[in-house]
Amino acid sequence: ATERTFSIIKPDATRRNLTGAVTKMLEDAGLRVVASKRIQMTKEQAEGFYAVHKERPFFNDLVSFMISGPVVVQVLEGENAVAKNREVMGATNPANADEGTIRKVHAESIEANSVHGSDSLENAKIEIDYFFKPEEIVG
């Protein structure tokens, strides 16, 4: 089925001028960018977005990293978009990511791993709603 998922191009990637390179890998995988904006996340926004991880030992570092520079938040649309996006991203830890995936090609570390993508259709909707108004998404 046609789905929408949520993607973030993280500060390590925007810093290295990889917004286009990462977006091209998403598009080449068959995903369409139906919304996109470059933002500087606030601490409150990052803490809210990653609230499910707040008891994890890496939470504070993760929030600091995500506000260390601009990010590009995007809504991606396509057939099985959630799974397709996860496939093209590769494993969370770039050391475990398959050849040709975004994280294998571009990520610096498990924290500075270049992209975020929703892990389920249910979370995709929550994450899209967290950053986008309906009228900002043009399919």
SS3 75: strand
CA atoms within 13 A on the CB side of 137: 17
Shortest separation between residue 26's beta carbon and ligand CMP, angstroms: 15
Sign of CA dihedral 97, 15, 41, 32: negative
> Applying CB under 6 A, does 108 fall inside the site for ligand CMP?
no
> Applying CB under 6 A, does 110 fall inside the site for ligand CMP?
yes
The single residue among 111, 123, 125, 137 that binds ligand CMP, judged by CB under 6 A, is 111
Residue nearest to ligand CMP (CB): 116
The single residue among 31, 116, 124, 127 that binds ligand CMP, judged by CB under 6 A, is 116
Q: Is 106 designated active site?
A: no
How far is residue 29's CA from residue 80's CA, in Å, rounded to a whole number?
Answer: 11
One character per residue 52-91, x = contact with ligand CMP (rule: CB under 6 A): -x----x---x-----------------------------
Would the annotation count 101 as a binding residue?
Answer: no
How far apart, in Å, do the first and last CA atoms of the chain sit? 15
> Applying CB under 6 A, does 33 fall inside the site for ligand CMP?
no
Q: Which two tokens stand for residue 49?
A: 């977005």
Q: List 32's β-bridge partners, or say none.
A: 77
